[in-house]
Structures are given as structure tokens and as C-alpha cells.
Structure 1
Amino acid sequence: MNTALFDIFTGISGDMTIAALIDAGADFDFLKQEIAKLNLIGFDLILGRKMRSQINAAKFDVVINHQPHYHTHLEDINKLIDSSSLSDYVKYNSKRIFETVGIAEAKIHNIPLEKIHFHEVGAIDSIIDIIGTCVCLENLGIEKIYSTPVKLGKGLIKTQHGLMPNPAPATLEILNDYPVEFTNIDFELTTPTGAAIIKTLSSGTFDNDRMGNIKISKIGFGSGTFDIQESPNLLRVIICDSQNELQKEQLVQVETNIDDMNPQVYPFVMEKLFEAGAKDVFYHDVVMKKGRPGILLSVLTEESKLEEIVKIIYRETTTIGLRINKVGRNKLEREIKEFDTSFGKVKAKVITGGNSLDINKVMPEFEECRRIADEINKPLNDIYNQLYRELNG
């Protein structure tokens, strides 16, 4: 599997991402050709070289001649993307990244997503950085992305909203639940655009269990604009072929037996646990001491979410004790992709198991099947079976 590892040892921004991907082999002329499909004006794309800490890195710039700042709402940007002849991959992932930014901004400013005005991220250079990143990833044939923890600076930064704490509120909100590392560097190491690219496209942080044996094929360095004394202002991208056939991860299993709770509460508890980020929640019928029927509640979660999971169980159930154990889990490689079908565009889960396992199948997403069944008033099972045949034919 063609995999990109983003080594974020100083920070990440949109221009650094494109520079690193071009340095790793993405075609700059192809990038310019694809960006032209947006029919935007008032800028030039410049590619150069920059030496930092004796490392020869690519430097990518969007030079603004004049800034017609007219794409300010998420709907405007989505229309700009959809009206172009960019590939489905680029359209889909670009819109996902912009939505990540929009959701964070909406939460910070406490206004609906559709009313969010994009400022820095709505500027031409940021639009190009996000869409250009997706163009370069597709050009390189990247199937999976991982990263190291995202580095963050300290102090204050200037934005169109005025002085803001560093990292910017949008950056920090975007990176909620993603591994980060705070530094003592008084500089905006990671921008909202860079944070959104990683949070949206990455499958998580790198570890040997996830990627297994890898064969490095290309390495790219992308340079930032400013000199940083404490660390080279560079982003490194490592393109490799991951030989791992099973994804492995370490999770925490939380269990408790309950025999004295109103059964109507169980669905509510499950909903709350999933909202808190649980990987899985399930119930078993059990016979407890004194022959009383009961329920075994089992929750699988990442360790970073354990505290909140425990709080919910104690708050919403009648239990007074929990069993907590670390467990290993392996799973087949999977990702959600969009396909053209007889029912139109449909999202489905692509599952692969490597060469030795010889597993390669596409599973229609249930919610997509239900949507189609409701729209055309046909049995859900018929929709699922037809989609499965089309996607695996």
C-alpha cells in the first residue's frame, strides 16, 4: 500500500505540505494544470528551493497579484470545487478539509456552520493549498496517510480577528482528539490549514504495529517561509510501501455487570458512549450471583478517551465498579470511498487484506442503502444486494 508519513517535527502548513509532496515526486506542472480548472485569477504559483539546516528543501508559494476575496462561506467554496473539472478524489477530500475547518470555526464562534465566514482559510492561497494538497496526493497515488504528533508553538499571533493565543483557537479545535506536542517555540508552527489537512486525511499517528514492515521509496522536504531559531522550519514527507496486512492497535476494554437498571436506559448509555468516542459498545446477557439475570456492558476505547468513558458509565448507569484492561486488536485495512453506481454516487467501505490473505471486497454503507431505499421506495435488502453485486462485480 502506497503510504505517506508526515514527519511533523517543527509544524505544518498548507504551502509546506505541497512543497514536501512536490519534493517527493508530485508533478508541479500537473498541479498548475489542475489548479487552473478552478478558474481563479490574481495569483501565480512559484516553486523554488530553500536551504535550511543544510537540507535542500522545496519552497512553494502562492504569490497574490490581487485578492478578490469572494469565496467566504463553505457553500461558496463547495460550489467552486463542484463546478470545476477536478477529479472526484480531489473534490471529495478538498470539501472534507474545508468542512473540518468550518466545524471548528462554528464551534469557536458559536454560530451555524452555514454562516461561517472563512478568513485566512477562505483566501486564495489557502484554497489553493488545500485543493493542491489533494491534487499532489492523488498524483503520487497515496492510499494512506499517517503522521507524527503535530508540533504546536506558544505566545500570541496576529490574525484577521486580532491578536490570538498560539496555537490559534481554530487550530487547537481542529486537532481535538489528535496527538499533539506543545513546544516552547514562540511561533505559529501549525496553521489551521495544515491542521485541517492532517486531521481530515490522516489515519492517525505512525507506529510499527499500524504500518508493519515498510519500504521507503521517496522522501520530500517542504520549507516554511520564516526562519525559526529553535528548529528547522521544514516538513518531511516519507513515501513508502507498507507491507502490513493487518492493522494493529492497542485499546482499553471497560466492562461491568449490571442487574438493577431500567432496561430503557441502555440505548441512551450506548449513544452517549459512542458520542464520547468509544470504538465499540455492546451488551451481553449474563447470569449473575444468586441466579439473577443481568447485562454485561463492554466498551472498547482508545486510552486517551478512557476518562470520559468511565465518567459516562458511572453517571448514567447503576454500576459501582468497573473492570479495565488493555487489549490488542487487529483489523483488515479499510477506507470509505465514493463510487458511481446505478443509484448515483454511493459511499462504500473498501476492505483489503494484503497479498497473502487475498481479501479485497467493497461493502455498501448501511446509511447509504437506507437513503436510497427511502428515496425510491424499494426494500432495503434488495438495494444492498444490488449494490454489493455492482461494487464487487
Structure 2
Amino acid sequence: MKAIYIEAFAGISGNMLLGALLDAGVPIDYLAAEMEKLHLGEYELINKRVDKCGIAANYFNVVLPDERQHDVIIGQQHTHTHAEQHHHEHIGVGHHHEHDIGCEQFAHNHEAPEAALHHHHEHRNLHDIAHIIEHSDLSAEIKSQSLRVFTALAEAEAKVHGKTVDEVHFHEVGAIDTIIDIAGCVLALQYLGIEKIFVSNIHTGSGFVKCAHGLMPVPAPATAELLQGLRHSHGNIDKELTTPTGAALMKVLAVSTNDLPQGFTCSKIAYGAGTWDLEIPNVLRINIGEWEAEAGADLLVAECNIDDMNGELYPYVQERLLQAGALDCWLTPIIMKKGRPAQTLSVLLTPQNLDKLTEILLTETTSLGVRYYAVHRHINYRKFTTVELPEGEVRIKYAQMGGRIVNIAPEFEDCKALALKSGRSLKTIMQTAAAAAEAQLEQ
């Protein structure tokens, strides 16, 4: 399957990851057109090549109208000088809309010089952010994954400040630029066909940073909360290198690893730039390639039988398990003693994730115990392509075994969107896409 290995030796933020994904081949015009579907109002997308200690990297940022001539300090973390950003690629968006994103103070990019100006935006909570994303014209998959990242941020902020999720008025999260960073990263990963994301040990930086609440340790409290379960360390840089947004993206989307994952073959390297000029290259390096789990590799299935839990809780538990590294999870209806209907909740996992996932099963369900056993699996090699139909593009997944194509699967969400747009039946769109994919193979 197509995978990405992220090297966060200089930390990670949303704009650094998005800059790297643009460097990897996502067209900026495509990103800009998709981001307009959020109806966020007026902003500019900055996309340019920069040099970081001799490494050419891609720098991405979002600039709001009142930021164009200033260095700005915003909330917990600091934006950078925009004066150098006026002789490169700008993409302006001037659509005004009722949603004016932002809050009185929010964190932004993590690597800027300090300054003294503050933005004043109305406060937004998770419900407001969810409304904006859900009422956008983005695909259902992009909406869902973006909301998962925002929810992780909200939960971290709520825990740190001793509030409920609905009471949290975000710092970094409420901003137009952060919505674009998160939705843009999710969209770019989908565009590149990435199925699996690995991340290295994440350097957070060290020291203290001034914010609305006073001096805060690095990593900032919300960042530290989000990094639980991910390998991370302070490193030797006395700066804030990892933002809550960067940490949330990795928390929700990535699997932590000490090194290049076994079975990963890299075919392309790309770089996203930060703003600080450091003694080390201030870049996020991403390695894109194919990852094939070792055939017959030992895995575990952990499972428990549950007969007394509210059925509404199962989707939440499954989402938590998948976010924490489960390879798959599923429910099987069963009949227990005394004819009592119940469910078996099963989780496919790697041995190193057993303790973490077992804890979720025992704390998030009503089960009093978990059993587990070893299994083996074989994985067919998968690759992606795109076919063009009269109604629009559809992504196609091919499965190969022994060099032969054994399955062709059009992306359901793409076909659904085209069916709703064109008025043709969904099954017709899917059949047409599959036929186009077969014809493409024969060429």
C-alpha cells in the first residue's frame, strides 16, 4: 500500500506538513480550489521555495487580510514576518461568507519572532467549527477526518483547562489558517493516495513560551496531552517546534515508530519548511513510497463479549481503537448464556499495541476482561490510480497478487459525489468507473 514516513526532527506543525505534501506533488491550484469549498472568507495562500541550512524546502502559510503588513504574536505561539512573502506565489481568495472564523486569541505557526499585535476574532467552539466543516462542499471523507483532528484538539484543550469540550474556545483551532492546515493536510494525503502514515520520534523543543495565560512550558500543555502515545522528546532546540495542530494530526492519523518501518520502500522525498532559522535544518521531511507488511507476520486479535452496553457507544469505541493504532476492528452478533443477545468486539493489532488497546477496551466498554490470540495474514499489494468519467474523476484501488490484478475497486465516496451531482444511479457510476479502470489497464 502507498505509505508515508514523516521525520519530525525539527518538530511538526500543520503548515509544515502541508508544505511538504505540496512539495511531494499536490498542485497548489487544486488545494486552493478545494479550500474554497469551506467558504471561509478572504485569505491568501502562500506557497514558495525557501532554503533551510542548504535544503530546498516548500513553505506554506495562510495570510489573513490584516496580517499582510505585520509581524504578529497570536495566543500561545507566534506567527512570522510576512514582509518576505510578497514576491512569490500568492493565491488570493475573496469570497465573503457568513462564517468569520477565529477567536480572540489562538495559536498559529510555532516558529516566529515575538511581536506585540493581537488579532480580535469572535470565539468559536467545537460545535461552531463542526458546523463550518459539515456545511462545506468538501467530500464526506475529508469532513470526517478533519473533524476527528479538531475533536482531538478540543479534548486536549478541555482536559488541560478543566473544562468540557463545549466550553473550550480554541486558541489555534479557531483560526481560518488552522482549518485550512487540517483540512488541507487531509485532502493532500488523499490526493497522493496515502493509506498508511508513520511518524518518527517528534522533537518538541524546550524552554518556555509566553501566551495569554502567562509563561507555558514547551511543549505547550495541549501539545503534551496530544503527544501521549507518540514517541517524542525535547531535543536540543530552545524553541517551540511542535504545535497542537501538528500533534493532533499525528495523534489521529499516524502510527509512531522509531525508524523507517519494516517493509517500507521509499520512492520520493519532500520537504516542508518552518519559519525559524535554526542551527539545524528547520524542515519536516516526508518519505513517500510503498509499505508491505511482512507476509505471515504475527498479529494479535483481542476481543471481548459484551451484553450490557448501549449500542450508541460502539462507533465511538471503534474510532478510539483505530486512532490508537488498531489495524481493524469489527462487531459480531452472538448469543450468550440464557439466550442473551450480545456482541463480540474484535480488534486486529500488532503485539506492541496490545497494552494500549486493551486499556481502551476495558475503560471504554463494559467488559470485565479481554482475551487475545495470535493470527497470521497475507496482504495483497495495492496501488491507486484515477479514471476520468464524463461526470468527473474517480479514484481506483487495484489489488495485485503474484503480479496479477485480482480486484478493482472504485472509491465509493467519489462515485457517490458524482451520482448526486449528475443524477445517475450510484451503481451505474461505479460500474462505469470499474470498466474505465479495466480499459486503462489494457492500454
With the shorter chain as reference, the TM-score category is 0.5 to 0.7
Matched with 1:233 is 282
From 376, 388, 401, give the equivalent of 1:355: 401
Matched with 2:58 is 58
Contact 2:255/2:325 (8 A) holds in 1: no
Cα distance in 1, alignment partners of residues 231 and 298 from structure 2: 15
Give deviations 1:241-283, integer Å, cap 9, x for gaps.
22336485788x9xxxxxxxxxxxxx9xxxxxx9998989xxx
Question: Superposition pairs for residues 166-177 of structure 1, below 5 Å?
Answer: 166-177=218-229
Matched with 1:284 is none
Cα distance in 1, alignment partners of residues 4 and 221 from structure 2: 27
Matched with 2:269 is 219
Per-residue deviation at 1:9?
A: 1.6
Cα distance in 2, alignment partners of residues 56 and 360 from structure 1: 40
Are 1:134 and 2:186 matched, yes or no?
A: yes
In the alignment, structure 2 segments of 5+ residues that lack a partner are: 68-99, 103-121, 303-308, 310-317, 330-348, 363-373, 381-397, 410-429, 431-443
Are 1:100 and 2:152 matched, yes or no?
A: yes
Matched with 2:174 is 122
From 232, 236, 251, give the equivalent of 1:184: 236
Contact 2:266/2:287 (8 A) holds in 1: no
Matched with 1:14 is 14
Per-residue deviation at 1:206?
A: 6.2
Contact 1:23/1:58 (8 A) holds in 2: yes
Question: Superposition pairs for residues 245-256 of structure 1, below 5 Å?
Answer: 246=295, 248=297
Matched with 1:73 is 125
Contact 2:49/2:59 (8 A) holds in 1: yes
**Aligned residue-pair number:** 316
* Identity across matched positions, percent: 39
Contact 2:42/2:64 (8 A) holds in 1: yes
Contact 2:5/2:287 (8 A) holds in 1: yes
Per mean C-alpha deviation after superposition, the further-off stretch among 352-361 and 17-26 is 352-361
Are 1:39 and 2:39 matched, yes or no?
A: yes
Contact 1:278/1:309 (8 A) holds in 2: no
Matched with 2:252 is 200
Cα distance in 2, alignment partners of residues 304 and 170 from structure 1: 23
Matched to 2:282, the amino acid is N
Per-residue deviation at 1:207?
A: 5.2
The structure-2 alpha-carbon separation of the partners of 1:205 and 1:301, relative to structure 1 and needing over 3 Å to count, comes to closer
Question: Superposition pairs for residues 379-390 of structure 1, below 5 Å?
Answer: none
1:19 counterpart SS class:
helix
Cα distance in 2, alignment partners of residues 243 and 303 from structure 1: 18
Contact 2:231/2:258 (8 A) holds in 1: no
Give deviations 1:153-179, integer Å, cap 9, x for gaps.
111012333321000010110011111
In the alignment, structure 1 segments of 5+ residues that lack a partner are: 254-266, 268-273, 281-299, 314-326, 334-351, 363-390
Cα distance in 1, alignment partners of residues 157 and 57 from structure 2: 32
Cα distance in 2, alignment partners of residues 107 and 129 from structure 1: 23
Per-residue deviation at 1:27?
A: 1.0
Matched to 2:32, the amino acid is K
The structure-2 alpha-carbon separation of the partners of 1:303 and 1:33, relative to structure 1 and needing over 3 Å to count, comes to closer
Per-residue deviation at 1:51?
A: 0.5
Question: Superposition pairs for residues 293-332 of structure 1, below 5 Å?
Answer: none
From 121, 138, 158, give the equivalent of 1:86: 138
Cα distance in 1, alignment partners of residues 11 and 296 from structure 2: 27
From 271, 293, 303, give the equivalent of 1:244: 293
Cα distance in 1, alignment partners of residues 356 and 194 from structure 2: 35
Cα distance in 2, alignment partners of residues 93 and 168 from structure 1: 24
Contact 2:51/2:57 (8 A) holds in 1: yes
Matched with 1:387 is none
Matched with 2:196 is 144
Give deviations 1:221-258, integer Å, cap 9, x for gaps.
010011122x211001111122336485788x9xxxxx
The structure-2 alpha-carbon separation of the partners of 1:99 and 1:54, relative to structure 1 and needing over 3 Å to count, comes to same
Cα distance in 2, alignment partners of residues 105 and 302 from structure 1: 31
Contact 1:245/1:353 (8 A) holds in 2: no
Cα distance in 2, alignment partners of residues 168 and 39 from structure 1: 30
Contact 2:299/2:350 (8 A) holds in 1: no
Cα distance in 2, alignment partners of residues 95 and 170 from structure 1: 17
Cα distance in 2, alignment partners of residues 51 and 133 from structure 1: 22
The structure-2 alpha-carbon separation of the partners of 1:226 and 1:84, relative to structure 1 and needing over 3 Å to count, comes to same
Per-residue deviation at 1:66?
A: 3.5
Matched to 2:168, the amino acid is I
Are 1:24 and 2:24 matched, yes or no?
A: yes
The structure-2 alpha-carbon separation of the partners of 1:355 and 1:305, relative to structure 1 and needing over 3 Å to count, comes to closer
Give deviations 1:96-146, integer Å, cap 9, x for gaps.
110111111111112111221111221111111111111211121211111
Matched to 2:161, the amino acid is H
The structure-2 alpha-carbon separation of the partners of 1:247 and 1:137, relative to structure 1 and needing over 3 Å to count, comes to farther
2:246 counterpart SS class:
helix
